[in-house]
Amino acid sequence: MLVVGGAGYIGSHTCLTLANRGYKPVVFDNLSNGHSEFVRWGPLEKGDIRDRERLDAVIATYKPDAILHFAAMIEVGESVKDPALFYDNNVIGTLTLLAAVLSAGIDAFVFSSTCATYGLPKQSPMDETHEQRPINPYGRTKWIVEQVLQDYDSYKGLRSVILRYFNAAGADLAGHIGEWHSPETHAIPLAIDAALGRRTGFTLFGNDYETRDGTCVRDYVHVLDLADAHVRAVDYLLSGGKSTQLNLGTGTGTTVRELVSAISTVSGKPFPIEHAERRYGDSTSLVANSELALSILGWQPKYNLHDIIRSAWQWHSSRNHG
């Protein structure tokens, strides 16, 4: 398996799961957001998805049966500040990758997408029939790639599984790898760092949303559950499965205030909370209906919020990086 972006958070956990299921993951990553320390279950080939010559060389060397594509810029706030960077990497880079994939005759492609393609929820939980109207450049770049893949299926014979996951969280239960972004912008690691005294407190953006406590609602799904879904998607495609788009989430919404409270409970360390204005591009509530993933892949999440926080706490409290 060629795991593009496999040195990153979700990609590395997927490599772990692939190896555990008997596959050989080959990581292709420029290490702009990934970490060479996370490449433990197969070779690392350094390269950028916009470099067609490098892609062709790596694909020719390993002759992968399928491609898993995680290589994207993902920070919503950054996409608002500089959308050009996101279009260059997420759209142009993916088109370059797809050209190399088609040239090599590979017809199985798993795409790491996002619930951000839906935009503001018209109903909750959301299923795959929900209209897609992204409200930020990050979500829009992912949505564009989804449309490209649908066209490539119809006109080029490239079968794909598009996985729209909600809020990835947690860490490998053995503590080998976890969530490590530079800079860190995700709620759980930020709150844990506050509990560990590595930052002065946790900033809560917006407390006037139309939710049960005024803070945003999110569907936190364990990264190992997401990794399991990606491997199931590979199995499905290699068994001749047709192209499909699937949500990945638990179906349970947690407010940011509830999340912070749970982290305080698991860690046993309360920490100060600061309040700030809403961030542009944040949706009020994002909760998944994942019944289709159960039907097609036999996938359902194994881990709950407590498992997520406990594994994340173990990773962050024991880490020796940054």
Q: Any idea which residues carry the catalytic annotation?
A: 138
Quickly count: other Cβ atoms within 10 Å of residue 51's Cβ.
Answer: 17
With a CB cutoff of 8 Å and minimum separation 6, the contacts of 211 are: 217, 255, 284, 285
* 100 vs 105: CA distance, rounded Å: 9
Indicate the Cα dihedral angle 61, 63, 64, 68, nearest 10°: 60
Instruction: Give the end-to-end CA distance of the chain in Å, rounded to a whole number.
Output: 31
Nearest Cα to Cα of residue 199 among 184, 181, 212? 184
In this structure, are residues 92 and 144 in contact, taking their beta carbons and an 8 Å threshold? Answer: no
Residues in the chain: 322
HEC secondary structure over 201-236: CEEEECCCCCCCCCCCEECEEEHHHHHHHHHHHHHH
Coil vs helix vs strand at 320: coil
In this structure, are residues 129 and 288 in contact, taking their beta carbons and an 8 Å threshold? Answer: no
Beta strands in the chain (DSSP E): 2-4, 26-29, 44-46, 67-69, 108-114, 159-165, 167-169, 202-205, 217-218, 220-222, 244-248, 254-255, 273-276, 285-286
Structure letter (DSSP) for residue 63: -
